[in-house]
Structure 1
Amino acid sequence: MNSLIKSIKSGQCMLLLGAGTSFGSKDFHGRDVLSGEGLAKLLCEEVDVVYEEGCLSKVYAIAKHQMGPRLISLLEDRFMSLMPSAELESLAKHVWPRVYSLNIDDAADIAFSRNSKQKVVVRHGKDSWADLDGLYGRLDLIKLNGCISRSKGSLIFSPSEYASAASNPPEWYKQLGRDYLNNVFVFIGTRLNEPLFFQQIEYYKSCWPDGRGLPGRSYVILPEISDLDRKMLMSANIEYIKGSLKDFISIVDSAVSNSRRPIDVAVLKNPELAILSEGGDVDEDFSKVIKISASRKVDADKSLGKTREFYMGFKPSWDEIFEDVPARLDFYEILEDKLVDGNRLYVVTGPAGSGKSTALMCAAAALARKNDRSVYYLQQPVSRLDFIVKKLEEVNDGPYYLFIDRASSVIDGIVSVLRDMGLSKVVFVCGERLNVWRQRSEWILGGHSPVQLKLTEIGVADAEKILAKLEKYGPWSRVAKLRPLDRKSQLLEKSKRQLLIGLMELTTGYGFEKIIADDFLKLDSDDARVFVVLVGLATIHGLGISKDLCLAALSGAEVRTHINELIAATYGIVHFADGSYRARHPVYVDKLFDGHAALELKERAIRGLLLAFSRNEKPISKNMSRNHVMLFKYAINHNFLNNFFNGRKGPMVRIYEDFEKYFEMDGLYYLQYGLALRDVGEHDNALSKLHSASVAWSMKQTEHAYAQQLLICALRGSRDYAYKNLEIAKEVLLKLDARHSEEDTDYPIVTLAEYHVRIVREFEGVDELKDTANLYMRELSARQNRGRLNARIEEAKRDILKIAFSQGDSVRAKKK
């Protein structure tokens, strides 16, 4: 019982409610709610058959045939708009991660909607899937067999309905199976003679032979149970506790306060979320921000003899930062000194694997220790950065720091905040890959006077510090055999490419490519390799993948190995922290995808991930967490998929074709599908997809892509066809240019300029060509003179000059 109470306190206990939990509730007329046997007797009277114990499913099938719509009316009269029992209402006052129900009545629905501090969402067994809310702000109450309040086609009651569901199990029955094997469960008021439930349990147990899939201890609470049933349940590691819902509530109420808020439970799992208490709101975006506390407690003694994951290539954990596991490089002093000079925007740039994240985290910890300003760290991308900043402005009297690992992931939000004169206290400290900074972020943020600090190669003093920390915390056996001078010289030489790569090569004695190949190929199964690729799909974009989504994706990828075995098999490559899985480092994953993971394994992983997404309510962008929306967007990006499949077009196009119906409500999917078709030269098909995207999901990205495709196709047809396309595209692009002029984006006019000049060159004479080119050259130059420092404008000017003046007339123009 102590372990059960502990799981409830920590928010790790899920519920499955059976018919017994509705006892004590009243119907609209004040009658006691019918039990299963009570309903069976009533239906037997209605259809004039002799009652037999346990005949409910059979008599229900008869009643469904004989009574027709009158059956639903009867069920609504007895099971709809109930008055929940006091015990159910007490149960609803506690915080739960998920609640499943086998009942078709609405007693639990009403009890939780009235009393829960969580936002209650009632879902039916056949409804779309939803990810677990790590903040406990939302509670999914899943009616596995349907509910009388939404009875049409949703009830699972008769043998035929069970048979239909068994052949194609509802999504939430599948999730119940996964949840049961990965969480503590309390089954109340049910003898667990649910065939669909045990079908899923047996399926997952069959995936993990030799007892490896046996779930953790769960509990069933019933007034009495036969010895045979008790032993049967114990075989599934379900312990019988004698009692009722009232007894269970009495125990829980005495051990756990029912006044706890959802955020109080979330903080137990992740203490960094305590900042939410300051803001007063429980919001998914806000949960991505942690407050860096100078008084953070770290029990270093517990892990004194452990090789730290930081020196295996993972990004540092906050415990490692506060234990001073990373070496304190000279650059950190420069950064920390610079951060107090009064600017509002600082950007640390460097190549991938150069240590930007570590530098930012160390600087955040150092500033927090000074205690003169609050320090916050944004751990994942968010959709509403301005909302976060507004909340932080409310709880801070003076300036405060907000650290952001990747500026590009929230760059629009940064610009919005810096433009808002009412948000003046925040000081942004960002990291950015050097190539991303040069290609995009610099010109977007350039008007806000960013202070750029470049993370360059380490020096001799840095090498000495790194080696001292490596000896204390990292893999040292190979380095110990080197002479001190050789240790230093090898580290300096190897780290000239990237510090991460240099450290891994120094400690192993192998080149980075061989390290990855050995790690991956030595895994003992393809299941483990698919798991690494799946987690890598998130890590390469700086994201994590939640356990809930990961388990569903593994199922979709037909991985049959238990998650605990996968974690053990991939130790040192994948780890689990803060509710999500991450692989070693984006650089590591990038190299892995580049040539070490077989195409078949990569296709299994991406298909598994997209199948997991496909279960969710559409569109994805409005019905999943920001982290998973970002993962979905990256996973279907045509450039990413092209690189992921090493330039092989067939697998990329197959992915888009096979998932088109699943994601047809997501405009982004059609946009990327069209762009992928453009990549493979299927321009007419691409034009069709992009036209559909621009009509159904009118936004600047789809409209621009459609207009550009019109111009591409224009160069492939007759003169009349070309100019017809040009006129349509010109109208779209000029409207976009006017509509988004305040966003400092010149892509519409640049696209129009380059293609218009090409079309004129193809179909007109030299004079018309030069006039058109000069027209656009003047417009682009004027924009530069107005301070638009977009490098893309300069590139377009060079292209126009090359097209118009360097290559002469087109063949068609010469023939005129």
Structure 2
Amino acid sequence: MNPHIKNALLNGRLVLLFGAGASIGCINSLQKDPPLGWDLAKILAEEIGEEFSDEDLSDVYAAAKEVLGEQVHRVFEKHYKHCRPSNEFNDLLKYPFFRIYTLNIDDAFEKAAHQVSGLKFNVKNRDDNITEVDQFYQTLDYIKLNGDVNHPSKGFIFSSQEYAKGSSSEPLWYSELAKDYHKYTFIFIGTKLKESLFFHQIEKYKAKTKSNDLKSYILIPSLTGIQKKSLETSNIEHLEGKLSDFTDWLENEFEKPPTGIDIVSNTRPELNLESQEQTKHLSLFSGVTPVNRSSLSLIGDNVSKSKIRNFYKGFKPTWLDVLDNVPANLSNIENFYKDTLANNQTCELELHVLFGTAGCGKTTALKQLALRTADQGIRNVYFIEEYKDNFQELIVELDHRHNEPYYIFIERIGDVAPQIAEIIKSAKSTKAIFISSENPKIWTTRVKEHLGEYLTSSLDISHISSDDADLILNKLEKFGNWTRLSKMSAKNRKIELIRKSKRQLLIGLIEATSGEGYNQIIQKDYKAITCESEKALLLLAGLATTQRVPANEATLTRALAYLNLSPNVHQLASQMDGIVTYINGSITTRHRVYIERLFNLYVPQKELLKIIDSYIQAFSVYQFPIVKNISRNEASIYKHLVNAKSLKRILKNDKDSVLSIYEEYEKTFENEGLFLLQYGLALRSFEENQQAFEKLRIAHDAFPDSPHIEHALAQQRIILACNESDETVAMAHFSEAETVLNRLNSANVSAFDRYPIITLSEGHVKVMENLGYVKEAKILAKQYHDRISKNKNLDSNYRLTQTVANLTKFYLTGKWPDKAQLDLGN
């Protein structure tokens, strides 16, 4: 074999595809080898009483199916079911493969896999939903492209007619195979690749995307010179041998078979996996970086060859930036460190928060503080950069591992505020010290109610001082674009930076170094991208950036293919230095502020609509509910793409554009609760209230146990009641809504950031007002006011406080406040 194959395996980039020859050495229930193509054709000919004259298997199978009908499946069962696996299959499963495709229908490999302790093994049919690659390489998906002897009802592909049908219907996993073929290193084992459906998908994909073939290999004892040259046109190199040669090579190459943990350690050293014990809870540590210089130095940041660091082009700081002291150590952060963190002054269960608007340097400050705290070498430090729905489990695990207090730095505390509150309330013994950041508005409206009473200290870092300007200029001279500033006097440089940074540090840095306004810089950058594939990659990854998460290569590959553009994400990213970055299959762009301005000012709405459409389509291959079958970061992106408020904002409140998304995917996502809910909310937002009611009722019928959908439907009933002149109809709607909202309120679903009591109180008063019962409505307003005022979270809950003020105004005057957003609880 060769180093290319070895490196591909160790980096989780190697995929196998089995042909009939891979099953040699397996034994079927007749105590024979499962028959290969020629042998199977002969067997089928005998079954139908015809003389076999070396006809193609596809022709013989078609004839046998015509004569025997479904009885042909019994022939397959006799020869391909209950097979004993070969030694080679057993040996192969010692190694960490995440996907293996097969053209075979026998069950020998499954038998071997089910005997492997601890292996998560899934068998997929060609039409099954796509599953994400397990980011920890603990799961093997075995994809049976041409059928499965254990599932004959799903059909087989042997005949020309079935190949043609497969080509026209485009099975999901054949399409995924084509994408994988242009993304990973393949070894085709035991097949000459005379598979028309396979090459149809490959060539179709290449034609659509203008992509090039990656280096792959075919492992088979012999090929003719012409066959070799034919395969070389697809960049497939012939390796003489059989599966046994491959497993022998693996055994000789590796003294001990590598594991999925070894791949993770190679590709994600930030996880710092030091023992097998840690791997038992590996998924808990997704997005968690143990902070220490030795492990951070191993993280594979893609550093540009340019001496101007991407941080000063508008990207968020990488750990390498922090290690190299690329960002300046600003005075307020320095003082916070000395006053709070130096010499381990903090105690367990403290909560410290940095406040600041977008682009002021919160992430930079947190990473600098985390590294300096870790450098003390006394307490362990962890940094969390992604949303974690298992945050409480993570803390329990960390508490178990530590005898002393430890630090948890969290990029955005709003994501985990309820969980932290629950930890503080119920686990007084936790050793965690929480340090985080948040936008002041988000803190007030979403976080304060959960954590306000537990806040130990806070610091606003929105603005820089005069002394900070000198520190920043020193760093800019070393790591940034210094051309313009070098022509100024030291005094004028300082004045320029402070003046530009008064609104926002990120924008100030870019404007000061370029001499242009931030908007003009963004416009010039975007116009300079002439390649449509590169432009699409920026916009797709930008949609992920708006949710503060990286985009995933696999999903972007699919979306670009749907756009008929080049899907080679790695190659595209390498050509976009300073615009996007690619690290281990994750793609990031410049700061969210940059992307949001790009979308708002310079990307045509039609272009954005196409991009959003392709991204949603890229998620449609997963099993429903989608968010339960993809990673947390990917779930954040998907939820954003189908969210009614998000779509309205991105598409500038254009009704036709927004609703066109939901109309296009209404059938595809008819069993996807989140999509149906958002469709109803989108219709509501455009005052299509009767249609919204119908969509939400359908959603409730499909998902009767969803409190979110129940709340939305009850809210919609109140909206209809408020617009209804017939008192009987109006009160019927309200009565049903009241029952649901009281039940949800008793169940305390406010934890979902939905407030049934708000919807009920404002809604009830408005219904009575609409029916002309103003006097009664005022009395109701007073009753609800008194009821809500007893809520212990009133002072810290922005929305409850607003509702109490609205009810007070109506009780006193019979009118709602002019500026009140009376949206019935949204």
Report the TM-score, using the length of structure 1 for normalisation. Answer: 0.95
Mapping 1:29-40, distance limit 5 Å: 29-40=30-41
- For residues 752-807 of structure 1, the C-alpha deviation after alignment (integer angstroms, 9 at most, x for no partner) is 111211222232445423321221121122225x7653122221122223334335
Query: 1:251 aligned to 2:249?
Result: yes
Structure 1 residue aligned with 2:168: 167
Paired residues for 1:144-155 under 5 Å: 144-155=145-156
Match of 1:394 in 2: 400
Answer whether contact 2:17 2:102 (CA < 8 A) is retained.
yes
Following superposition, the deviation at residue 653 of structure 1 comes to 0.8
Change in Cα spacing, 1:766 to 1:68, as seen in structure 2 (3 Å) is closer
Change (3 A) 1:622 1:215: same
One of 455, 471, 481 as aligned partner of 2:487: 481
Amino acid at match of 2:156: L
Match of 1:734 in 2: 742
1:289 equivalent in alignment to 2:288: yes
Does the CA contact (< 8 Å) of 1:328 and 1:465 recur in 2?
yes
The counterpart of 2:778, out of the listed 765, 770, 774, is 770
Match of 1:813 in 2: none
The farther-off stretch of 297-306 and 522-531 is 297-306
Please state how far the C-alpha of 1:188 moved relative to its aligned partner. Answer: 0.9
Shift of 1:296: 3.7
Aligned to 2:232: 234
Asked if 1:272 is matched to 2:270, the reply is yes
CA distance, structure 2, for counterparts of residue 197 and residue 174 of structure 1: 9
User: Match for 1:643 among 627, 649, 653?
Assistant: 649
Q: Structure 1 residues 319 and 400, CA, compared in 2 at 3 Å: closer, same or farther?
A: same
Partner of 2:381: 375
Determine if contact 1:547/1:580 at 8 Å carries over to the other structure: yes
Map of 1:134 onto structure 2: 135
1:241-640 equivalent positions in 2, closer than 5 A: 241-257=239-255, 259-275=257-273, 277=275, 279-296=278-295, 298=297, 306-337=307-338, 338-339=340-341, 340-342=345-347, 343-421=349-427, 424-560=430-566, 562-564=568-570, 566-640=572-646
Question: What pairs with 1:85-164 in structure 2 (closer than 5 Å)?
Answer: 85-115=86-116, 118-164=119-165
Q: Deviations over 1:459-483 (max 9, x none)?
A: 1221111111112112222222222
Distance 1:116 1:186, change over 3 A: farther
What secondary structure, in the 3-state scheme, does the structure 2 residue paired with 1:656 have? helix
Contact kept, 8 Å, 1:117 with 1:261, in 2: the verdict is no
Note closer, same or farther for the CA distance 1:765–1:288 as it changes in structure 2 (3 Å cut): closer
Does the aligned pair in 1 maintain the 2:352–2:456 contact within 8 Å? yes
Helix, strand or coil at the partner of 1:538: helix
- Give the deviation of 1:379 after TM superposition: 2.1
Following TM superposition, by how much is the alpha carbon of 1:344 offset from its aligned partner in structure 2, in angstroms?
A: 2.0
SS of residue in 1 equivalent to 2:187: strand
Kindly state the Cα deviation for residue 114 of structure 1 after the two structures are TM-superposed: 2.2
Q: 1:214 to 1:53 in 2, by over 3 A?
A: farther
Q: 1:799 is matched with which residue?
A: 806
* RMSD value, Cα: 2.2
- Determine the C-alpha separation between the residues in 2 that align with 1:329 and 1:196: 60
Q: CA deviation at 1:50?
A: 3.0
Preserved contact between residue 291 and residue 383 of structure 2 (Cα < 8 Å): yes
Which residue number corresponds to residue 821 of structure 2?
Answer: none
Aligned with 1:240: secondary structure? strand
Counterpart residue type for residue 279 of structure 1: Q
| TM-score normalised by L of structure 2 | 0.93
Displacement after TM superposition at 1:741 (Å): 7.1
Alignment size in residue pairs: 805
* C-alpha contact 2:84 2:108 (8 A) present in aligned 1: yes
Letter in 2 for 1:672: Q
Change beyond 3 A, Cα 1:335–1:556: farther
Task: Quote the residue 2:719 is aligned against.
Answer: 712
Asked if the contact 1:536–1:589 (Cα under 8 Å) also holds between the matched residues in 2, the reply is yes
Q: CA deviation at 1:117?
A: 5.2
- Structure 1 stretch displaced more, 761-770 or 380-389: 761-770
What does the per-residue CA deviation read over 1:525-554, in whole Å, with 9 as the maximum and x for residues that have no partner? 333322211111111011111111110111
Of the structure 1 ranges 433-442 and 795-804, higher mean CA displacement relative to structure 2 is found in 795-804
Kept in 1, the 8 Å contact 2:261–2:279? The answer is no
What is the deviation of 1:564? 4.6
Q: 1:525 to 1:52 in 2, by over 3 A?
A: same
The one-letter amino acid paired with 2:240 is: K
User: Which is worse superposed, 613-622 or 691-700?
Assistant: 691-700
Partner Cα distance (2:282, 2:665) in 1 = 31
Which residue of structure 1 aligns with residue 24 of structure 2?
Answer: 23
Moved more, 744-753 or 351-360: 744-753
Question: Could you tell me which residue of structure 2 aligns to residue 757 of structure 1?
Answer: 765
CA contact (8 A) 2:647 2:658 kept: yes
Question: 2:823 aligns to what?
Answer: none
- The Cα shift of 1:15 comes to 0.7
Query: Following TM superposition, by how much is the alpha carbon of 1:565 offset from its aligned partner in structure 2, in angstroms?
Result: 5.0
Alignment partners' CA distance in 2, 1:301 and 1:624: 25
CA distance in 1, matches of 2:29, 2:125: 23
**Aligned-partner SS, 1:290:** strand
Residue 614 of structure 1 aligns to which amino acid in structure 2? Answer: S
In structure 1, distance between residues paired with 2:278 and 2:332: 34
Which residue does the alignment assign to 1:80? 81
| Distance in 1, Cα, partners of 2:207 & 2:736 | 59
CA 1:260–1:204 in structure 2 vs 1: closer, same or farther (change >3 Å)?
A: same
How far apart, CA to CA, are the structure 1 residues paired with 2:733 and 2:511? 55
Q: Distance in 2 between matches of 1:415 and 1:776?
A: 27
In the alignment, the residues of structure 2 paired with residue 791 and residue 219 of structure 1 have an alpha-carbon distance, to the nearest angstrom, of 61
Structure 1 distance, partners of 2:812, 2:364, is 50
Q: Report the Cα offset of residue 150 of structure 1.
A: 1.0
Distance 1:284 1:549 in 2: 20
Q: Tell me the secondary structure at the aligned position of residue 32 of structure 2.
A: coil
Alpha-carbon distance change, 742 to 629 in structure 1, aligned in 2, over 3 angstroms: closer
Per-residue Cα deviation, 1:695-726 (whole angstroms, up to 9, x for no partner): 43233322221111111111111222222222
Gaps of 5+ in 1: 810-816
Show CA shifts across 1:100-140 (max 9, x none). 11111111222233237541111111111112222112111
Residues of 2 paired with 1:455 and 1:56: CA distance? 72
Q: Which amino acid aligns with 1:103?
A: N
**Native 8 Å contact 1:382 1:627 kept in 2:** no
The structure-2 alpha-carbon separation of the partners of 1:24 and 1:378, relative to structure 1 and needing over 3 Å to count, comes to same
